[in-house]
Amino acid sequence: MTATTALQPPNTAPATAWRLTNATEQKVSALRATALTYLRTALAAQGRAHDPDALFGPELVLAELVTNAMRHGDAGQIDILMAVEVPHIWIAVSDTNGAAKPEINPAAPGTLPRGQGMRLVDALTCAWDTIPLGDGKLVTAVCPVPDLDRSRPEPAIAHQRPAPSLTPSHDGMAWLTRACPVDARASLAARWNRGENSPLPIGALFDAVAMNAKHAVAALDHLSTHGLTPGPVLAHYPPTGPETAYFLIPPGSRWPDIEGTHIVAEGRTLLCPRPGSTSNERKWLVPPDGSGHLTDPAHLADALTTAIAPANPAVLPAPAAGRRP
């Protein structure tokens, strides 16, 4: 990846541009990291506090446009330009295949619609367009600069587990969106882009076991001590009321009758922030990584009864495993 001065947009602040040659998935990932560094620096220079969690929208738009150019254009040379002019972020991606234009196409009966990536782009941008360039094309998109001034204090978390040193996971976000119907995914991404929680249906991609957050942290420590990797765990720390955590487990799993825990009923929804962020007192203790790995309910039940029962004899499993209600 080498710098280039191509694709300077008119009437904008000075831009930064890159050229990908022989583009690969690894090079696209490296570009995303470089672009985020540029965006944080440019926003800070224009007097805006910078927060990596709030930049996932522009990051996703950039990744989608570059991936489209790589898959449907000429991966031999892709030019990328980004500029920041508050309150907007300008992204442009060009390739040498003018015939393959990004589109959002309706689905034929009984099929999934094509152009799902561009539906996300459409939801996360103020506007986007395709401009012919001789034998190639230039795809431009304008993203709103998010409100990065978070004056609201973080919720007081009494039993917070140390946060893992992970960058926000686009793969985890993509995996979570699979819980929703196809026609609801763009709306889900838009809610995340606004810093809101999105309701994800229970029972299709995962089930959820609810419990006291303090017990969840103890169970996580037990699993870690025994070399067992948990799946995603979501915590809710309201200003008043009980602090609750949700372990995501495989759909249709059996769960023993452990006092203080319950399976969230199928058909209900779980309000989730974007992976790597906190929204309305909800945050991921273990964020989804995109692999689809979920906590083994047998391991979780053992961790709870082993780690919690000595301190709280009331937390014991019933003799027989119960079915999900």
Q: Which residues of 293-306 are buried (b: 16+ CB within 10 A; e: fewer)?
A: ebbbbebbbbbbbe
For the domain 2-144, what is the CATH superfamily, name and number? Histidine kinase-like ATPase, C-terminal domain (3.30.565.10)
| CA-atom Rg of the chain in angstroms | 22
Per-residue pLDDT of the chain (325 residues; tens, 9 = 90+): 333 333 344 455 557 888 888 877 788 778 878 888 888 888 888 777 655 555 767 877 888 888 888 877 665 788 888 888 777 888 888 887 766 666 655 544 444 444 456 777 877 777 888 887 767 788 888 887 765 544 433 333 333 333 332 333 567 777 888 888 877 877 787 788 777 888 999 998 999 999 988 888 888 888 877 888 899 999 998 888 888 999 999 999 999 988 889 999 888 999 998 887 777 788 888 888 888 899 999 999 999 988 765 544 444 344 333 333 3
Q: Which residues of 256-283 are buried (b: 16+ CB within 10 A; e: fewer)?
A: bebeebbbbeeeeebebbbbbbbbebbb
Report the candidate in 34, 277, 246, 264 with the shortest Cα–Cα distance to residue 172. 277
Task: Specify whether the CB–CB gap between 286 and 201 falls below 8 A.
Answer: no
Chain mean position to CA 103: 23
Boundaries of every domain in the chain: 2-144, 182-322
Tell me how far apart the alpha carbons of residues 325 and 317 are, in angstroms, rounded to a whole number. 17
Rounded to two decimals, the pTM is 0.50
Tell me how far apart the alpha carbons of residues 170 and 53 are, in angstroms, rounded to a whole number. 11
CA atoms within 13 A on the CB side of 236: 15
Report the candidate in 155, 129, 127 with the shortest Cα–Cα distance to residue 143. 127
